[in-house]
Chain A
Amino acid sequence: MKILAVIPAYNEATRIAEVVNQAKPYVDSVIVVDDGSSDDTAAQARKAGAIVVEHVENCGPGAATMTGIQAARALGAQALITLDADGQHDPKDIPSLLSPVQAGKADIVFANRFGQRNRIPMIRRVFNGIGNFVTFAATGRWVRDSQCGFKVFGARALKDVDLRMSGFEFCTEIVRESVQHRWRIAEVPIKVIYSEYTLAKGQSFAHGVKTALKILMRSFLR
């Protein structure tokens, strides 16, 4: 099974090489989608041995993820892992996330940051709870950690998925796709590493409200 990792990255020059190097032992290739960064994210990723796809303008993590998916399809991927570029996901969790797909039990695997003891700030827990609720309202499917960027797409999901949302709403759109295409889903607890850096990169409350409104509006207007 040809397994690729896709890492959407925006201004992550200080972290990207480490994330690429940690992910490489678990996959055949790593694709970094540089989403119009103003720093040398692309150069650092290339130096670390990743295949780099560069957006000329910042489009958002949803758009970057879909670009990575298309690049992976072109490279003949049979399974795909998406993970964040800021280092909050531990690539050592990749084998356990992959196992439901490799065993033929799931088409998509959602990581669950709340499934094991992780030191997650309360405000993050609240925001993720709201995100889960909005996702449920828009899709009718409850996923324990719908907003986590660490996911595995099996062959079927990789073939079907078509993300149109450019921003952080894409996580909800993936849940919607899983309902629409009737993918079998699995949820696997993972470790999460919150540092000052990852917390500083987090989304503001206003951004969260905007994302929630976009999700509800688009799910209604489709």
Chain B
Amino acid sequence: MIVTPYQIIAPLIALVAIMYAWNLVMRHRKTLWEAALWTIFWGAIAYIAIEPNSLDYITIATGIHDRENAVLVTFLGILFFIVFYLVMRLEYLEQRQTRLIRKIALKQSAQENGKDE
């Protein structure tokens, strides 16, 4: 059996992601439930990388056999990543805007209450 670089890198990344998730649990920043979901997700990625034949059923279902289709699927993956990144950025910006509005509101309220006293 020939081991490809992907079969080494993907499980290593998965291992780091799983360790990171459990580290967050130890620091009380992630719940056990979330870490379990995370472990299942990255565990599946590592398993598919090591055992690509486990995806044979997808090949049967989708008919992806040749390189052209592989390229198409790869670019779909890249597009998925870009959308994921944009969603994360939007979430971050929304949270930042909320924090800003909250700070202004609390500052104004403190000033008003100070005036009343």
Contacts and interface: CB of A to CB of B under 8 A. Distances in A.
B31 A54 contact: no
B108 interface: yes
Nearest to B110: A74
A52 B31 CA distance: 35
A179 B34 CA distance: 11
B38 A140 contact: no
A70 B91 contact: no
B109 A140 contact: no
Contacts of A60: 98
A70 B30 contact: no
Interface string B76-117: 000000000001100100110110011011101110110000
B101 A56 contact: yes
Nearest to A31: B109
Interface in A160-211: 164, 166, 176, 179-181
Interface string B31-48: 111100110010000000
A72 to B, nearest CB: 11
- Interface residue tally on A, bucketed by range: 20 to 34
B31 A176 contact: yes
Given A139-B31, A222-B30, A56 B106 contact: no
B28 interface: yes
Interface residues of B, number: 27
B12 to A, nearest CB: 21
A55 interface: yes
A55 B101 contact: yes
A33 B105 contact: yes
A56 B103 CA distance: 11
B105 A180 contact: no
Given A57-B101, A59-B98, A140 B30 contact: no
Contact of A219 (B34, B102, B108, B109): B34
Contacts of B98: 59-60, 63, 166
